[in-house]
Structures are given as structure tokens and as C-alpha cells.
Amino acid sequence: MRSLRTVSLSITAALFAMSCGTAGLPAPATADPFAGQYIVNGGGGALDNVKALADAFQKQHPAITWQGLADVGSNAGVNLVVSGETDLGYISRDLTDAEKLAGKVEALPIGASGTAVTVAASNPIKSLTKDQVAKIFTGAISDWKDVGGTPGKIRLLIRESGSSTRSAFEAYFFDGKKPTYAPTAVEVTTIDETVKAINSFKESIGMVTMNATTFGNATVAFVTVDGVAASRDNLNSGKYQVRRPLYFVYPTDAAKIKPAIKAFLDFVKGSEGQKILAGL
């Protein structure tokens, strides 16, 4: 009888433990509904802001994996969203009239970037006027001695037509008009390519996006323009005027926006996202 009573008590205890939830163990965590991989691509000028926001959101949702986060250009950032090949794009310019007219993407502001006139760190010329820069890039000034530097031919590097870096440069130094660049100007297509060319040819001058990588690169220097340094503080305050707006771009059709991307955009619009942007 004692053994039967012991068995009965054991069964009762086991059933009680099961009713309390796996013998007292905590219930399994609920899966994050936003878990998954998401592709984000666009113009390199926005990358610092995009990465800061993406990293902060990922801390709240560790099951999210961001793919891309590369400099494929602002035009591609829009086109890839339209084609559905990327989940979220980013651009370092305003939407064009054609893009607005097409009505396929919306834009969410995420700060500002800038274009710096850039030379080798060893170049003694670190300050130019707006007029001098314009004359250098059109070929009216072709020797460094003509702006107070060491005698030597100026090697010109320009970004490709349509790039946000070049558009901001032209908007300021040529008042939005399309300039005729010197015939010796060499066209490059990425930030890295421009920096490498300046390092290889110390007599070069180019137009470079201001971001964490270029700000931290000690081999190149940003030229002060009309007495205003191309610094992060001057860029953020608007004092440095060779600047351009940054945006996330996403489908106008809400049905095409994945739930995680919508939540991320809401995060960006909210107090946490805005605090991050204010601190950049």
C-alpha cells in the first residue's frame, strides 16, 4: 500500500509541475516577427547615417540581418527600390522631378552630407575661394603656383555625371549650371577610387563625399572654401554650404513594404531615431 501511495503522489506531483509550465522552467521566448534578412542599398553619402540607424534598430531586434549597406549610388538606390531588388534604398540628393512624377517611391529625411574639395595631405594648399575652385576645374587655373602652391600641373578628378557628389559640387561652385570641365579632367566613379587617385598622384584635386571614412583618412585633406572649413560641425550647421540632403526611399505602395521595414521607418521617425540623427 505504501508503494502504491508513493507512486500516486509522484504522478500527482508530475502532473502539477506540468500544469505550471514545463516543470517550473520559463516558457520559450516568442520569436521576433521581424526576424529575417533585409537588403538596403544606395548612395554612399548617406551610409554613416544609415548604418547608425540600422545598428540601433538591430540591437532591439537581434534576429534581423541587414544585407548590402554599400555605395551603389543614389540613382541605383531609387531604381532598386522600384524594381523590388532591395527592401530599402537611401540617397544623398533630393528626388528628381522625374522620380516625383513617376510616384513610385517616397522619401524620408535622415540628415545631410557634403562634398569636399579634396587634395593630398602633403599639398600645402588647404584653402581656396569659390572662384578659384571653379577656375581650377574648368582649366582657367592649371598650375598650383597660380593659387600660391608649389609649381606643378594640377591633375583634376571629377565624379561621374549624375552622381550626387558632383551634383552638389556643381550646385555650389557653378550655381547649378553645367560647367565645361577642363579636357584633362579624369572621371572616377567611387569615393575610394578618388581617394586612391589622390594618394597616387599628389598633385591631384578632386570632389569627395564627406563621410566617416573620408573624415578619418589622414592621407587626404578637405580644402577650406572662402574661409569655411569642411568640418562635420560646419556641415551639420549648414555653415559649410556644399551640402546635400539624405533620405531613405521606399515604395509608395504600402503593400510592397515589408513589416520589418515599416517598423524600422517608424523607429527612424520616432524619438530614438531622431536622437541618433541629431547626434551625428
pLDDT at site 14: 42
% pLDDT > 90, the chain? 73
Q: In CATH terms, is domain 114-243 a member of 1.10.3720.10?
A: no
Q: What digits encode the pLDDT tens for the residues 158-206? A: 999 888 889 899 999 999 899 999 999 999 988 899 999 999 999 999 9
pTM: 0.74
* β strands within the chain, DSSP E: 36-42, 64-71, 88-91, 105-120, 127-128, 155-159, 186-188, 204-210, 220-222, 224-225, 243-251
Per-residue pLDDT, 17: 44
Q: What is the distance between the alpha carbons of residues 243 and 92, in angstroms, rounded to a whole number?
A: 9
The CATH label, of 3.40.50.450, 3.40.190.10, 3.90.1300.10, 3.90.640.10, for the domain at 36-112+245-278 is: 3.40.190.10
pLDDT, mean of residues 60-80:
93
**Parts of the chain belonging to CATH 3.40.190.10:** 36-112+245-278, 114-243
